[in-house]
Each structure stands twice: as C-alpha cells, then as structure tokens.
Amino acid sequence: MSTSTSVPGKLAPKDNEVSSSNEISRRGFFTKIGILFNGLAATVLAVPIVGFLASSITRGRANGYLSWVPLGSVNDFPEGETRLATFQNPYVMPTDGKTVDTACWVRRIAADQFQVFAVNCAHLGCPVRWFPQSGLFMCPCHGGAYYRDGSRASGPPERGLFEYPNKVENGLVTIQAGELPTPGAVAFLTGEKPPCVS
C-alpha cells in the first residue's frame, strides 16, 4: 500500500524509483568512485614507466660512454709505482648511490706514460689486488696472477688485465671510463685490437 498522494492526471512515483534526474543511485556512485580510483592507480603506475622510457632522451647522456674522466693529478702517481684510484662512472642514475665510484689501478711508467687497469680479473671479474713486494696483481678468487704491466703470469685467466684508454691533459690523468674495457663485439667488427694487455 502506497502512502504517497497522487495528483489528478499524474502518476505517483514508486518508492523504489529515483524521483529526480540529478540524484545518483548508490550503484552509480560506487561505479564512478571505482573509475576515479582506477584512473589514479593507472596514473601512478604510468608516470615512472614513461619516465624510465624517456630518460635516455631527456637526460642528454648520449655520449656518456665517450667522455674522459679525471683520476687525479699526474703528481698523485709517483713514477714506477702502481696506485689504486677511484673515479665516478660518467653514466650514472640518481639511484646508483655509491656504486658509481669505480676503482682502477694506475701505473706510472715514465713522465707522462701511464697504464690504467680495470680492477677486475680477466677470468671471472673478481677484484684483483696489487702486491708491490712481489710486483704482481693477485686475484683472491681463483689464484690468477698478473705482472706489473698487466700481462698474465699464471692461473686460470687466459689473458692479461683489461686496460682503460688514458691520456694526460692539463696535468691530469684522464681515462675513457664509460664502459668496462673488454674485448667486445665492436673491436671484433672493426678489426681493431681491443684496449687490453695480452
């Protein structure tokens, strides 16, 4: 039984019908809230993905691998000695933290003549240590040994230490350090000898 009053010539609205077109049903309200939250979640997920994909263009680091990085003054490396040096990788991301600090061994042969070796063993990449008493680089992982000039002395490595291209500029020792010097496909395709000691 309906308690609504009816006006002659008009139908009385039913109890379960919406009386005004501006009112929204409960189902419609939750549908719109769900669409809103799904849109927000999609935006939150899309922003980092788009940022990652566009980062190589927006950061302008196209020639990061070709840049020359200073290791220190020529006077920091005494003639006839091998010293550990660190440099900051030119191809860094804000999230890299301390991993951008890369170690290398610098050997000063003569006045402006240097050899700069990657700290990694040519066998499996373990960090080698310099022992001035014996004049050898030693790998603690599998017993690889290298002479002071980076050539292979003994152990499982089949080659010498990898060497960075280097030059002296304005009294600073600089290296091309964008990527780890390894005998890669580029050297194979160009026919050039890779920057390493054999």
Residue type, 177: A
pLDDT of residue 182: 58
Q: Which residue has the higher pLDDT, 4 or 123?
A: 123
Q: Is residue 100 part of a domain?
A: yes
Q: Are residues 151 and 185 in the same domain?
A: yes
Q: Are residues 155 and 80 in the same domain?
A: yes
Q: Are residues 47 and 71 in the same domain?
A: no
CA distance 41 to 35: 10
- Band (pLDDT 50/70/90 cuts) for residue 186 is very low
Question: Long-range pairs for 142-146 at CB < 8 Å and ≥24 separation?
Answer: none
| Average pLDDT score over residue span 73-81 | 82
Q: Nearest-CA neighbor of 85 among 118, 109, 120?
A: 118
pLDDT, tens digit, for every residue of 115-156?
888 888 888 878 888 888 888 888 888 888 888 888 888 888
Q: How far is CA 56 from the centre of its chain?
A: 12
Q: What's the whole-model pTM score?
A: 0.57
Q: Are 105 and 112 in contact (CB under 8 A)?
A: no
Q: What is the dihedral of CA 169, 175, 178, 180, to 10 degrees?
A: 170
> Above pLDDT 90, what percent of the chain?
10
3-state secondary structure of 100: helix
* Residue range(s) defining the domain that contains residue 34: 13-60
Query: Which two tokens mark 197?
Result: 């000691």
The number of folded domains in the chain is 2
Q: Average pLDDT over the chain, rounded to whole?
A: 76
Q: Is residue 102 part of a domain?
A: yes
What's the number of CA atoms in the CB half-sphere (13 Å) around residue 40?
6
Q: Which residue has the higher pLDDT, 36 or 152?
A: 36
